[in-house]
Amino acid sequence: MSDDTRAAPGNPRRAIAAAFGEICNTLDWNHDAWLALMAKLEAAGKPAPSLTLAEVTAAIDAVRGQMGVH
């Protein structure tokens, strides 16, 4: 999903779909990017089920910016 297709914050269904789309896009990432994402998520200091979609997508965005993956 490209950055220009992100959902408007006023539409919760589109926002949820966009968040899951961002997560799905990480399946195409290389191993190093995945390791960076796992480290970013672990750094939140929360159990995985307690992470919010906002925290996950923020970590994805951070790794994307850091490693140049899409």
* Rounded-to-10 torsion of CA 20, 56, 12, 14: -30
Half-sphere exposure of 60 (CA within 13 A, CB side): 23
Give the model confidence (pLDDT) of 31-65 as tens digits: 999 999 999 999 999 999 999 999 999 999 999 99
How are the residues of the chain apportioned to helix, strand and coil, as percentages rounded to the nearest 5? 70, 0, 30
pTM exceeding the 0.85 threshold for the entire prediction: no
Alpha-carbon distance of 47 to 5, in angstroms, equals 30
